[in-house]
Amino acid sequence: MQIVPIDLRKIDERAANIYEAVIVSALRARQINDEIKIEFNALLSTIPETQTDDETEDIDNPAQLKISLEMEKRPKPHIQALRELLNGEIEYRYKD
């Protein structure tokens, strides 16, 4: 995976200060991660389980492996959150 630097000045333009931007993007990344977990668990629940008597035997379920590989191809939650912040798609406010 290629590392792409992000200019901190661009991030600083979207928030009052850089620390605020980091917190906002971290909270959004956590939300995205929770959404991905729910979707992944929903997809896994549709796959029939393989029953084996021997617990030491390691059998790969091809359907589960396919879903896992598709989920790994998605952009990581923190990258998505930073992109949303830079594109102005995240709106936030302070609690009263």
- pLDDT value at position 51? 62
* Residue found by looking up tokens 């991660």 in the block: 33
d(CA 94, CA 45): 38
* Residue found by looking up tokens 């909270």 in the block: 27
- pLDDT value at position 31? 97
Q: Domain-by-domain residue ranges, the chain?
A: 8-46+61-86
For the segment 8-26, what is each residue's pLDDT rounded down to a tens digit? 888 888 888 899 999 999 9
Q: Which residues of the chain have pLDDT under 50?
A: 56-57
- pLDDT value at position 68? 86
d(CA 15, CA 84): 13
